Structure 1
Amino acid sequence: MRTRTALAAALLLAVGALPTSAVAATADTTHVDGQLPSGAAYMMDVPADWNGTVLLFSHGYTPGPANPARDVTDEATKALLLQRGYALIGSSYASTGWAVTDAVPDQLATLTAFTERFGAASRTIAWGQSYGGLVTTAIAERHPERIDGSLSLCGLVHGGVANWNSTLDPVFALKTLLAPGADIPLVDLPDQQTAADAANTLTAAVDTAQSTPAGRARIALAAALHNIPAWNQPTQPRPAATDWDAHEANQYEAVKGLVKLPAFSWRQEAETRAGGNMSWNTGVDYARMLGRSSVRTEVTALYKKAGLSLKADLAALNRAPRVSADPAAVTWMASTSSFTGRLTKPQLNVHTTGDALIPVQAESALKRAVDAAGSASRLRQAYTDNAGHCTFSPAEQLAALDTLEDRLTTGRWVGTDPGALNSRAAKADPTTPTRYVSYHPSPYPRPYDLAHPGDGR
């Protein structure tokens, strides 16, 4: 009896360590919901006529508390992929926020669970959007043996250190120029209430500044340090090329969005994980940074219109007390969330040109690392002419997937030019837009990668 009891207890422990799941089948698709040992939820959708390829989807940043599993970008794209016979899988990650240390193992565990249930795939493609592009690229660099190729959509492919440095720069400018006497902590945020109070105080300063020509010029300068484009939401009118007031009006909304969440609330969560402040602006020359910005002409024009000295404001930024990083926090962020650029499997990246949250210049930062690592032949980047973050049509997503599939099948990149991509997109889904364009992003403001660990200034 004691032996049977011990065996039963051991069996219960073993079962508890395995992924749990529930299955719902339709005539065309088997849907599986489950839970990994980490506590992360996962989901799988496998069509009856599975084509042998599994798409491992990494979702974007989730602040919580809700944390559902996702296995695709949107429902319209999901329907088209299932019609084509793709198996779709993805997890929630065991935690929300800057969850890369949970996300990568949970995604790989989901892939293992899929293989155990449905058998080995003939081809595995990792794909993700936004923060999920960072997770996807981390899988591609650190676990290439688990996948055949990867696809990043509007991805945070510049890595964590560069991201938090470039999130610091615009709020540093806003505080210095719009609220120099206010008590607004930019880093070392101990809790979410402190973060919310700081965000509210700085937002009020931005709102006040928007009512004057000088304030609008300074908001444009802060936007330029983050490369926030003039057209950054599909709901905005696309401004004329030299309508600088319209450019700034669109950027104003994006700057407030940056202050409200990434610059304070999301930073506080990431600092907690990193064990301190992982960003700095010591040694940064803001005049030089503005000179590399994609929207510098607008800033010059608005300062002139306001009768304000841009040279004096840049000098004020360069004189202002700087923010130093916690070296241990930088090490944590670099080791978990920055990239070497070493790709051993093909990766295709797609970015909208009008992205304010993860500006398109992030692609320049990744290319810099990939070129330094000697992996340029494995990376291709494409761009769609649209405003917003991750505002891709189903047609555009399928065209990217088809292009990556061809690369995996033939061993060479074919049809990565805008004409070929638009042709593929129109064929894949003639009901949604096709907006691929020829585009070359300007340099990222402050790139940082593991191929150039001394950079970031």
Structure 2
Amino acid sequence: MTTDSATPAAHTRRTRTRRRTRTACAAAFLLAVTALPASTAAAADTTHVDGRLPSGATYMMDVPAQWNGTVLLFSHGYASGPANPAQNAPDDATKALLLRGGYALVGSSYATTGWAVTDAVPDQLATLSAFTERFGTASRTIAWGRSYGGLVTTAIAERSPDRIDGSLSLCGLVHGGVANWNNTLDPVFALKTLLAPGSDVPLVDIADQAAADDAADELTSVVDSAQTTAEGRARIALAAALHNIPVWNQPTQTRPAPSDWDAQQANQYEAVKGLLQIAAFNRRQESEARAGGNMSWNTGVDYARLLGMSSVYKEVTELYKKAGLSLRADLAALNRAPRIGADPDAVAWMSRTSSFTGELTKPQLSVHTVGDALVPVQTESALKRAVTAAGSASLLRQAYTDNAGHCTFSPAEQLAALHTLEDRLTTGKWTGTDPESLNSRATKADPTTPTRYAPYRPTPYLRPYDLAHPADGR
């Protein structure tokens, strides 16, 4: 499993110690598995291959006896390590359906964990080459991936379009790396400024993972205390709005009524804690280490303007009224607070490796759940902005499932997306991308799991950055 699913509960040091022990055991198990012979039979009618690339990445391939000629190159999500298994499908149920349909499935571990795009793209392409050497040239190659794997897939689509025929991103970081880290900075900047102005918790330039753990725990404790007061809850909602955290963001949550502001905020509170414990500090520190410094900034940002564009602006205004708190004063405090500047070299690295031009030459279908707190659905607006500016809009289609959570797609929904992309590759034109057609196709592909495609248009991504708009900056 990847570690991309948001965990809302705060993690204590004891929990982290147990997790490290479990992942160390998993890593040992992986080493034992890769010591086995390279080719084994996964099933009577499927050839399973495990291997290792010169980079050190492992890969896995599953090829059914009745291969239909299509190979699916799967890019997995962000893995924290040390366990780093290869993956060639998003989940076991979808994998079984794809193999039954005759698809060959391939994917690598990437040579390293974390923000590993500089390893992931070449390792994925090397895995594709290894597949061709063993099984022959595919009649069609489709790159696909989930979450961080959506970023890897889009990077492949832009930089190596000659290796694939089309691409499918599921809940992907299709807004790119710089935009991601800018938008991750804004909510924690608001929390620290409004809830803990005297704190010295570092938001950027985090020394190591121990410092990241301490920062996450400190700010989580502040948020827990703030949640006990009406004023604190309003300010948490404001921070959530700056990340476009939806008011329904986990399948286990009750979907709040449109004007149930308290229930909406309670759901966001859990997601805010998940953001603190996952991306805002631990993953930031790992990414900063790769980039060589802080790659995000809020110099020149008008937080009143950002809030005005947020998908949950109304909720914030209502909670501030209920608390008897001045929203204008808090926004003024944010805009007066000392700003954070970026390291230009780190920005250049993140931009060069992890941001997009929007220049597609092969069709791409991008699918998102509407209730994603970790990678908000507004990332799709950022992708469309870049692709439109680059003149590639005719090659992109986007679709949405009416469900909460990060990457909570059913097998039926994933197969429907794949088949829709395949139709585009076969006919040369997009058809059946509307929700009704997608749901019909999903039901046919797998009548046992949900079909929830729905009409949806995301609000703007609040902090876009792409290579099609070079004027974006500090």
- Normalising by structure 2, we get a TM-score of 0.92
Following the alignment from structure 2 to structure 1, what is the Cα–Cα distance between the partners of residues 60 and 82?
A: 19
1:213 to 221, 230, 243: 230
Larger Rg: 1
Show structure 1 runs of 5+ residues with no match.
1-19
Following the alignment from structure 2 to structure 1, what is the Cα–Cα distance between the partners of residues 90 and 158?
A: 22
CA contact (8 A) 1:160 1:334 kept: yes
* Match in the other structure for 2:406: 389
Following the alignment from structure 2 to structure 1, what is the Cα–Cα distance between the partners of residues 271 and 278?
A: 11
Counterpart residue identity of residue 137, structure 1: T
* Match in the other structure for 1:22: 38
Following the alignment from structure 2 to structure 1, what is the Cα–Cα distance between the partners of residues 256 and 208?
A: 39
**Secondary structure of the structure 2 residue equivalent to 1:384:** strand
How far residue 326 of structure 1 moved from its aligned partner, in angstroms, is: 0.2
Instruction: State yes or no: 1:380 paired with 2:372.
Output: no
**Secondary structure of the structure 2 residue equivalent to 1:57:** strand
CA contact (8 A) 1:354 1:386 kept: yes
Following the alignment from structure 2 to structure 1, what is the Cα–Cα distance between the partners of residues 470 and 449?
A: 42
CA contact (8 A) 1:447 1:456 kept: no
Counterpart residue identity of residue 420, structure 1: S
CA contact (8 A) 1:352 1:387 kept: yes
Counterpart residue identity of residue 118, structure 2: T
**Secondary structure of the structure 2 residue equivalent to 1:236:** coil
Following the alignment from structure 1 to structure 2, what is the Cα–Cα distance between the partners of residues 275 and 100?
A: 15
* Match in the other structure for 2:21: none
Q: How many residues align?
A: 439
How far residue 169 of structure 1 moved from its aligned partner, in angstroms, is: 0.2
Following the alignment from structure 1 to structure 2, what is the Cα–Cα distance between the partners of residues 384 and 163?
A: 22
Following the alignment from structure 2 to structure 1, what is the Cα–Cα distance between the partners of residues 466 and 438?
A: 29
2:192 to 164, 172, 175: 175
**Identity over the aligned pairs, expressed in percent?**
81
* Match in the other structure for 1:314: 331
How far residue 342 of structure 1 moved from its aligned partner, in angstroms, is: 0.2
CA contact (8 A) 1:21 1:35 kept: no
Following the alignment from structure 1 to structure 2, what is the Cα–Cα distance between the partners of residues 33 and 247?
A: 46
Instruction: State yes or no: 1:336 paired with 2:353.
Output: yes
RMSD, aligned α-carbons: 1.0
Which whole-Å deviations, capped at 9, do the CAs of 1:416-447 have from their partners, x for residues lacking one? 00000000001110000000001000000010
How far residue 172 of structure 1 moved from its aligned partner, in angstroms, is: 0.1
Following the alignment from structure 2 to structure 1, what is the Cα–Cα distance between the partners of residues 452 and 115?
A: 31
Which whole-Å deviations, capped at 9, do the CAs of 1:76-105 have from their partners, x for residues lacking one? 000000000000000000000000000000
Which whole-Å deviations, capped at 9, do the CAs of 1:139-166 have from their partners, x for residues lacking one? 0000000000000000000000000000
Which whole-Å deviations, capped at 9, do the CAs of 1:36-75 have from their partners, x for residues lacking one? 0000010000000000000000000001111000000000
Following the alignment from structure 1 to structure 2, what is the Cα–Cα distance between the partners of residues 76 and 257?
A: 27
Following the alignment from structure 2 to structure 1, what is the Cα–Cα distance between the partners of residues 136 and 369?
A: 36
* Match in the other structure for 1:31: 48
CA contact (8 A) 1:446 1:456 kept: no
* Match in the other structure for 2:374: 357
**Secondary structure of the structure 1 residue equivalent to 2:425:** helix
How far residue 113 of structure 1 moved from its aligned partner, in angstroms, is: 0.3
CA contact (8 A) 1:104 1:138 kept: yes
* Match in the other structure for 1:223: 240
Alignment of 1:276-291 (within 5 A): 276-291=293-308
1:245 to 262, 273, 280: 262
Instruction: State yes or no: 1:406 paired with 2:416.
Output: no
Which whole-Å deviations, capped at 9, do the CAs of 1:378-413 have from their partners, x for residues lacking one? 000000000000000000000000000000000000
Following the alignment from structure 2 to structure 1, what is the Cα–Cα distance between the partners of residues 220 and 453?
A: 35
How far residue 453 of structure 1 moved from its aligned partner, in angstroms, is: 2.4
* Match in the other structure for 1:73: 90
Show structure 2 runs of 5+ residues with no match.
1-35
CA contact (8 A) 1:200 1:260 kept: yes
2:215 to 161, 179, 198: 198
**Secondary structure of the structure 1 residue equivalent to 2:365:** strand
How far residue 27 of structure 1 moved from its aligned partner, in angstroms, is: 1.8
How far residue 454 of structure 1 moved from its aligned partner, in angstroms, is: 2.4
How far residue 21 of structure 1 moved from its aligned partner, in angstroms, is: 6.4
How far residue 261 of structure 1 moved from its aligned partner, in angstroms, is: 1.5
CA contact (8 A) 1:350 1:383 kept: yes
1:94 to 87, 100, 111: 111
* Match in the other structure for 1:120: 137
* Match in the other structure for 2:161: 144
Following the alignment from structure 2 to structure 1, what is the Cα–Cα distance between the partners of residues 471 and 310?
A: 21
CA contact (8 A) 1:162 1:456 kept: no
- Normalising by structure 1, we get a TM-score of 0.95
How far residue 455 of structure 1 moved from its aligned partner, in angstroms, is: 1.6
Counterpart residue identity of residue 323, structure 2: A
* Match in the other structure for 1:51: 68
* Match in the other structure for 2:32: none
Which whole-Å deviations, capped at 9, do the CAs of 1:14-36 have from their partners, x for residues lacking one? xxxxxx96111232100111100
Q: Which runs of 4+ in 1 moved over 2 A?
A: none
